[in-house]
């Protein structure tokens, strides 16, 4: 039990600490793929440090929601880090919070982000919030559908149980999981605001989604939000890795098992970064109203997964 809590703490520290490096890795690969030299892999840390050392400029009519949101978003990220089996499935907290809670936690963070976007009353914030909610209204059902498919297939909604079931030697590749995986990849791109759904590099006022909502933030508030954004990307990738490629994860929390799991994790993250960058370099951003088709496809895949579970498994 104590070992379990140590693992929990380890995971939280790992996510908070490693997320900027992963973001730096993706940025680095992206620069290389465009044929230019890249900033250091530690650049996101420097950006965060810069933001933390700056003052906050707060709008006169900002309410508590605006000031509260950065901490909430960051806190949610930390909490989710304790639920997802990143290094080990031996997580005491994963019994208290299953995969539906996980989706709800992300939804809470998003809800408050959208509220904060509208709080100041600028046109851009409201525009970003409305777009974000449009994306959420299609992405979240698709996400739940994909997750239900996996839960059905594994007979549990606890993430640790699911991962253990998939990781067990008796597990074989099931068509339902393949469909769920495709759906999950599409949703991850939408949820983490990557090309072709949103452009994390842009500050073009009128095309932004996530950036539009946080346009009024500065200083440590902005640093926390950006950090939380990096954590979100990291967590989605870790979740995908845990669900669909759990090789090397530590079922029992032994130091050797954890170390091995850590090395596997680095390899898998490195590889995921390459996949993200290939998608981002090869595709242009979609027209906003094409997103319904894109996320509709994700929902369809998840539904097909569920159907194939009932028919084939």
Which parts of this chain interact with other proteins (CB under 8 A)?
30, 33-36, 123-124, 126-127, 131, 195-196, 199, 201-207, 280-290
Helix, strand, or coil (residue 88):
strand
Helix, strand, or coil (residue 250):
strand
Q: Maximum CA pair distance of the chain? A: 61
Residue 19 C-beta: closest distance to other proteins, Å: 22
Taking the least distance from each CB to other proteins, the nearer of 37 and 256 is 37
Q: DSSP characters for 2-20? A: HHHHHHHHHHHHHHHHHHH
Taking the least distance from each CB to other proteins, the nearer of 19 and 195 is 195
Residue 178 C-beta: closest distance to other proteins, Å: 24
Residue 184 C-beta: closest distance to other proteins, Å: 21
CA-angle at 258, arms to 253 and 262, nearest 5°: 150
Q: Which two tokens stand for residue 215?
A: 């346009």
DSSP designation for 236: H
Residue 284 C-beta: closest distance to other proteins, Å: 4
Taking the least distance from each CB to other proteins, the nearer of 21 and 195 is 195
Taking the least distance from each CB to other proteins, the nearer of 82 and 222 is 222
Taking the least distance from each CB to other proteins, the nearer of 256 and 287 is 287
> How far is residue 197's CA from residue 292's CA, in Å, rounded to a whole number?
10
The helix (H) or strand (E) run that includes residue 127 is helix 123-154
Q: Which two tokens stand for residue 77?
A: 């990220």
Q: Centre a 10 Å sphere on the Cβ of residue 142 and count the other Cβ atoms it contains.
A: 24
Closest to 47 measured CA to CA, from 20, 74, 69, 67: 20
Residue 123 C-beta: closest distance to other proteins, Å: 4
Residue reference for tokens 């989710």: 80
The residues facing 88 across adjacent strands are 250
Cβ–Cβ under 8 Å, residues 27 and 43:
yes
Taking the least distance from each CB to other proteins, the nearer of 178 and 286 is 286
Q: What phi and psi, each to the nearest 5 degrees, are found at residue 197? A: -95, -50
Closest to 109 measured CA to CA, from 214, 196, 251: 214
Residue 96 C-beta: closest distance to other proteins, Å: 40
Taking the least distance from each CB to other proteins, the nearer of 206 and 311 is 206
Residue 46 C-beta: closest distance to other proteins, Å: 21
């Amino acid at each position: 039990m104590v070992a379990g809590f140590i693992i929990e703490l380890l995971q939280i520290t790992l996510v908070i600490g490693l997320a900027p490096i992963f973001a730096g890795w993706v940025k680095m690969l992206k620069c290389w793929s465009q044929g230019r030299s890249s900033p250091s892999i530690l650049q996101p840390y420097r950006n965060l440090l810069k933001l933390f050392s700056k003052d906050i400029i707060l709008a006169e009519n900002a309410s508590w929601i605006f000031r509260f949101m950065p901490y909430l978003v960051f806190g949610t990220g930390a909490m989710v880090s304790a639920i997802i089996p990143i290094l080990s499935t031996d997580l005491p907290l994963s019994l208290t919070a299953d995969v539906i809670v996980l989706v709800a936690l992300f939804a809470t963070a998003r809800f408050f982000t959208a509220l904060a976007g509208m709080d100041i009353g600028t046109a851009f914030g409201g525009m970003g919030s409305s777009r974000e909610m449009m994306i959420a209204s299609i992405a979240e059902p698709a996400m739940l559908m994909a997750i239900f498919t996996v839960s059905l297939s594994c007979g549990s909604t606890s993430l640790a149980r699911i991962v253990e079931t998939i990781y067990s030697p008796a597990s074989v590749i099931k068509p339902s999981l393949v469909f769920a995986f495709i759906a999950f990849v599409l949703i991850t791109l939408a949820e983490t605001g990557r090309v072709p759904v949103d452009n994390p590099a842009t500050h073009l006022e009128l095309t932004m989604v996530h950036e539009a909502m946080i346009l009024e933030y500065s200083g440590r508030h902005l640093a926390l939000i950006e950090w939380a954004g990096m954590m979100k990307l990291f967590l989605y990738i870790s979740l995908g890795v845990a669900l669909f490629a759990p090789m090397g994860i530590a079922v029992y929390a032994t130091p050797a098992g954890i170390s091995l799991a850590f090395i596997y994790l680095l390899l898998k993250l490195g590889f995921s970064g390459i996949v993200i960058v290939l998608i981002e370099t090869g595709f242009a951003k979609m027209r906003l109203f094409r997103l319904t088709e894109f996320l509709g496809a994700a929902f369809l895949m998840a539904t097909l997964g569920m159907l194939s579970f009932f028919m084939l498994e």
